[in-house]
């Protein structure tokens, strides 16, 4: 449940449809129509979050505590990404159910089990780091999927999808780690989500330790995903350049 960052495995920002050198058989007409609607709605939702952040910043004249201005739409649209797991499970997108579930649940976990549950961290500037990274990421990602499904993908969007992760991924991961770290003292003090012995189930769980393990898990996962995305960038963009030259 780590390295959600501003990123997912295929490009740092999602694995709903993998970029392949050879075109695979796409979804049927009905599934395509549904996916277009879904991606348009999600693009619009993250644009609402982006506008909310800008408006709040202009109104306050400060970037501190901007989380409250976009809390509700952030929770709604980030949770809406759970549908992507079903898309994979039902086979309407050619991605791994396990990988997609891992990536989506990482962000949902941070949204609800950390930022929502530990109110004290909501005023921390580190929250804004991952919120901004996620917002830019998702606007690009869902736009990419929408235009790809319509077979009219602008090069600028493709370039942004496979380039901006270079900055946004570390930015998002840093925000996530700092937010979890900021939550630790409050989790320890309150015993949030922890289960102590003795109890009738003879089971104990320390949420404080669990969060530390989550942070440690970023160490092996982040470099793998980041270098994978650098490889994907070279492959996808170089293929595009070769295609342009051949035309």
pLDDT per residue rounded down to tens, the chain (247 residues): 655 665 555 533 344 444 444 455 668 899 999 999 999 999 999 999 999 999 999 999 999 999 999 999 999 999 999 999 999 999 999 989 998 999 999 999 999 999 999 999 999 999 999 999 999 999 999 999 999 999 999 999 999 999 999 999 999 999 999 999 999 999 999 999 999 999 888 999 999 999 999 999 999 999 999 999 999 999 999 876 555 555 5
CB distance 11 to 161 below 8 Å: yes
Q: What are phi and psi of 191, to 5 degrees?
A: 70, 25
How far, in Å, are 17, 80, 84, 203 from residue 206 at the CA level?
37, 29, 30, 10
Instruction: Indicate if the alpha-carbon torsion angle 62, 64, 65, 66 is positive or negative.
Output: positive
Residue 207: the pLDDT is 98
The three-point CA angle 216-138-50 to 5° equals: 110
* DSSP conformational letter for 197: S
Angstrom distance (rounded) from CA 134 to CA 160: 14
Nearest-5° angle of CA 11, CA 244, CA 149? Answer: 50
Active site residues: 169, 176
Q: Which of 105, 75, 130, 121 is nearest to 15 (CA)?
A: 105
CA distance 205 to 177: 21
Start-to-end CA distance of the chain, whole Å, equals 44
């Amino acid at each position: 449940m780590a390295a959600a960052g501003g990123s997912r495995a295929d490009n740092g920002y999602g694995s709903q449809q993998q970029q392949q050198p050879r075109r695979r058989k796409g979804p049927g007409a009905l599934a395509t129509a549904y996916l277009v609607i879904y991606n348009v709605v999600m693009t619009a939702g993250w644009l609402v979050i982006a506008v909310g952040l800008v408006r709040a910043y202009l109104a306050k004249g400060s970037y501190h505590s901007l989380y409250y201005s976009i809390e509700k739409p952030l929770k709604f649209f980030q949770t809406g990404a759970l549908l992507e797991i079903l898309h994979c499970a039902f086979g309407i997108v050619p991605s791994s159910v396990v990988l997609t579930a891992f990536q989506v649940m990482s962000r949902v976990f941070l949204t609800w089990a950390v930022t929502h549950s530990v109110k004290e961290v909501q005023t921390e500037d580190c929250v804004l780091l991952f919120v901004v990274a996620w917002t830019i990421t998702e606007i690009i990602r869902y736009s990419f999927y929408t235009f790809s499904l319509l077979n009219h993908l602008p090069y600028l969007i493709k370039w942004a999808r496979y380039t901006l992760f270079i900055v946004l991924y570390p930015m998002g991961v840093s925000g996530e780690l700092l937010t979890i770290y900021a939550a630790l003292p409050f989790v320890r003090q309150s015993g949030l989500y922890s289960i102590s012995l003795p109890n009738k189930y003879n089971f104990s769980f320390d949420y404080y330790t669990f969060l530390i393990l989550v942070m440690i898990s970023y160490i092996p996962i982040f470099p793998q995903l980041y270098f994978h995305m650098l490889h994907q960038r070279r492959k996808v963009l170089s293929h595009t350049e070769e295609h342009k030259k051949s035309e």
